Each structure stands twice: as C-alpha cells, then as structure tokens.
Amino acid sequence: MFWALAGVLIVVVIAVLVVPQFVGARNVARRAEYDINVFKDQLAELDRDQAEGRIAGAEADAARLEIQRRLLNAADAAEKEKSPDGTPRKGLAAVFVAAIAVPVVSVVFYLQTGTPGMPDFPLAERTDIRKAPDAAGFEGRSLRELADRLQERLRENPNDEKGWTLLGRTYANIGESRLAAAAYQRAVELTNRDPELLADWAEARLMARDGSFTPEIFADFLEARDKNPLLPKPWFYVGLDKAMGGDLEGAAQIWTDLLTIQPEGAPFVAAIRDQIARAAKEGGFDASKIEPSDTAKRLAEGMASAQPNGAPALDRESASSAAPGPTREQVEAAQEMTAEERNAFIRSMVARLAEKLEENPNDPAGWQRLVRAYEVLGETEKAAEARKRLKSLQGN
C-alpha cells in the first residue's frame, strides 16, 4: 500500500515535470518590453493624477519627460534584444534525465533514512495500551464525571480517607495515573501509611512514569511488603524491578515466592506463571528448579494456620482482588454496547457481587466494594444499607 501511494506521487512528479514541456510558448516578449509596459502604466497613472489635481502641472511635466526618456531607452533596448527561444521540446533530454533522476534518487535516499513498510499507530486503534480517558467512551467519561464530582466533595471534607481511596481507584481505572497518585497520596497520609494503599500509590506513580522505577517508588513497595507480606502487589513489583534491572532469575525467585504465598485459586496466578516462564526463557534458566524461599514458606504456613481466625484470610481476599476491575474483554464489550445495555451490564456486575455477599456475608472487603459500587452508581440508599451490614460485621 505504501509503495502504491509512493508510486502515485512518483507518477505525478514525472508527469508535471515533463508534460508541459511539449507545449510551446505563446508569448516570447523581450525583456525590455516588460519595462515598456511599466513605463506606460506610469504615464497613465501620471495622467490620472494630473487630471484629478494630485500633482501640479510643472511637476507633472517634468515627471512625464523623465518617464518618456526611459520609455525611449527601453524601446531602443527592445530593438537590440533577441526574443527568447520558445520552441517546444527544446532540450527535452535534460528534462527527461531530471524527471527520472528525481524519483530514483528519492527512493534510494528514502530506503537509507526511512522505515519502509512501518504502519501507523493511531491511538484509537491501538490495543497494547489502556485507552486514554477521552477515547474511553461512555464508561471512561462517566467515571471521570463521577471522579470529578467526588473530588469536589473531598475538597469540603478532605479527611475522608475512604473517599480519597475511591477517587484513586477510579482515576486508576480510567488511566489517569497522575491524578490517581495524588488521591492515593492523601489516603496514604490519612491512614498512616496503610500498606495496601501505599502499594496502590506506588503503582499509580509507576504508571504515571510509564513504568520506570525511582528509588522512592521501590522503597514504598518494600515498606508495603514489610508491613503486610501477604499483599501480592508489592511482591509483583519488587520482582518487576529486579527483572527490569536485568536480574531475571532474581525476579523469577520473587514471583515464585508470591505464588507460594497466594492460594492456588487467586485470579492472577496464571499471569504470574506466564511472567516466570518468559523470564526463564529470556534469561536461559530452568524455572522449575527455582524453589520458594524460606521466608515465603514460613509465610504460607503462618497463613494457613491463621486462616481459621478470619482476619488474614480476609486481608488476602481483599488484596488479591484489590481494584479488581473488569477484564479487557469485558471493557471492550461494554464499549460496543448501547448506553442502556452498558448500564445494565454494570448493574449486573454489581448485582452479582451483592448475590455473592448474601451467600457468604462474612466478607468485609466485599461489602466495602459493594458500598463503593453503589456510591459510584449513585444508589445512596442501597449504599447506606450495605454500609450498615459492613458496620455490623466490623462490630463483631
């Protein structure tokens, strides 16, 4: 396709350079005749000026004399000059050479400096990145409006840590990492550096920097992991930092630890396995030989024994499903829906969550999510009800 269009350009170039050369010149006026024209026009202008009284008689006469003298000189010169040669096709060979050389040289130059065959990557058609907020269609936009409204509310009530958390999640969901980071930062301050929020904050900053680590971001992930070693996010990113630093084996080790800590059924297990396999392939080592570290084993054991107590398990549940968000396929499907269908889809997701909680009500994090979901949908009554259930649960 590119070469077809380039070919069209080349044909146009050759045609425009060559074809008019076959037509002869109709006008072969001599150089001095152009001057004569100007002088005649000057005389006419002088006459007009004099007729309308813009120039006095004596001055006009002097000027006229001068122009007439120049006119005569020009006429003399015109007699002596030769007319230019207007024969068509004169020197056509040189024109042909030029017309052929232009595309040939251009193609050679282009092959040296260009990237032939490289397609365009317009943002709207790219699938490798999250859609930008303004291209995100209905969902992105409505979420943005909600987020903006929420931000307004938080300005009046800046100590609402839950609000800031929700704002951060919402911004993160629509790809506004920078704004998400700002919101998380506030939430982190209010919760005295809650590890989960700390990890979210670090992640948002990382996204805002297009994935390049700073010492501060890395330190925050470490801090979050130290405070709550069962959170998967810090493990994952600490591993990613190792991988980006070139230590693929170290990364695989950390991710293997992550898998050890997490239960088999966690939603991201397959993705982590995939990551480990890729690291192994690139680094040329055998991933199956990597054993979980002692720390990880201890943690996994401790977790298993702690499970009956409830709290860590819930923690894990909320961590593994932190900002769960719909999958890419679901989002894309949602974008193809009509507004009503989309609303119904979002509501059905919320309804499914509510159902699950009815079956298994002992899940504060789940209730927390439901509260947020109702708030996002603007269903304040249901949100209040869900919050009551959450409170009663926490009261136990």
Partner 1 sequence: MIAELGHFALILALAVACVQGVIPMLGAQLGRLSWMRFADQSAILQFVLVGVSFACLTHAYVTSDFSVVNVVQNSHSAKPMLYKVSGVWGNHEGSMLLWVLILAVFGCAVAMFGRYLPPALKARALAIQALIAVGFYLFILLTSNPFQRMFPPAADGQDLNPLLQDPGLAFHPPMLYLGYVGFSMAFSFAIAALIEGRVDAAWARWVRPWTLAAWCFLTGGIALGSWWAYYELGWGGFWFWDPVENASFMPWLIGTALLHSCVVVEKRDTMKAWTIFLAIVAFSFSLLGTFLVRSGVLTSVHAFATDPERGVFILVLLLIVIGGSFALYAWRAPQLKSTGLFQPISREGALLLNNLLMGTAAGVVLLGTLYPLFIDAISDGQDKISVGAPFFNAVFIPLMTPMVAAMAIGPLLAWKRGDLTRALKTLWIAFVVAFALAIATWSWQSGQSPWGIVGVAIGAWLATGTLIELSERIRLFRIPFSQSLRRLISLPRASWGMTLAHFGLALAVFGVTGAGAWKVESVQTMRPGETVTVSGYDFRFDGAQEKQGPNYLTTEARFTVSRDGDVVTQLFPEKRVYTVRQMPTTEAGIYTMLSGDLYAVVGDSKSDGSYVTRIYFNPLVAWMWIGALTMVMGGVLSLSDRRFRIGAPRRAAAPAGAQPAE
Which two three-digit tokens encode residue 164? 């800031």
According to CB under 8 A, which one of 21, 50, 142, 321 is a site residue for partner 1?
Answer: 21
Q: Which of 289, 225, 230, 218 is nearest to 256 (CA)?
A: 289
Q: Is 118 an interacting residue with respect to partner 1 (CB under 8 A)?
A: yes
Nearer to partner 1, 21 or 185 (CB): 21
DSSP label of 122: -
Looking only at residues 256 through 285 of this chain, which bind partner 1 when binding is defined by CB under 8 A?
none
CB-CB contact of 142 with 377 (8 Å): no
CB-CB contact of 171 with 325 (8 Å): no
Looking only at residues 96 through 115 of this chain, which bind partner 1 when binding is defined by CB under 8 A?
98, 101-103, 105-106, 109-110, 113-115
Nearest-angstrom CA–CA distance, 81 and 37: 16
Nearest-approach distance from CB 136 to partner 1, in angstroms: 10
Nearest-approach distance from CB 217 to partner 1, in angstroms: 17
Nearest-approach distance from CB 68 to partner 1, in angstroms: 13
Q: Is 379 an interacting residue with respect to partner 1 (CB under 8 A)?
A: no
Nearest-angstrom CA–CA distance, 110 and 387: 65
Nearer to partner 1, 84 or 361 (CB): 84
Nearest-angstrom CA–CA distance, 197 and 223: 11
Nearer to partner 1, 155 or 289 (CB): 155
Nearest-approach distance from CB 301 to partner 1, in angstroms: 41
Nearest-angstrom CA–CA distance, 349 and 369: 12
x-marked contacts with partner 1 along 137-156 as a string, rule CB under 8 A: -----------x--x---x-
Q: Where are the alpha helices (DSSP H) in 191-338?
A: 195-208, 215-227, 232-244, 248-261, 269-283, 294-306, 311-320, 328-336
Q: Is 311 an interacting residue with respect to partner 1 (CB under 8 A)?
A: no
According to CB under 8 A, which one of 20, 158, 324, 378 is a site residue for partner 1?
Answer: 20
Nearest-angstrom CA–CA distance, 166 and 184: 9
Q: Which of 208, 242, 207 is nearest to 222 (CA)?
A: 242
Q: Is 132 an interacting residue with respect to partner 1 (CB under 8 A)?
A: yes
Q: Is 9 an interacting residue with respect to partner 1 (CB under 8 A)?
A: yes
CB neighbours of residue 47 within 10 Å: 13
Q: Is 116 an interacting residue with respect to partner 1 (CB under 8 A)?
A: yes
Looking only at residues 23 through 82 of this chain, which bind partner 1 when binding is defined by CB under 8 A?
24-39, 41-42, 45, 52-54, 59, 62-63, 66, 70, 74, 82
- What CA–CA distances, in Å, run from 71 to 31, 33, 273, 284? 13, 10, 94, 91
Q: Is 158 an interacting residue with respect to partner 1 (CB under 8 A)?
A: no
Q: Is 12 an interacting residue with respect to partner 1 (CB under 8 A)?
A: yes
According to CB under 8 A, which one of 47, 68, 83, 159 is a site residue for partner 1?
Answer: 83
Q: Is 328 an interacting residue with respect to partner 1 (CB under 8 A)?
A: no
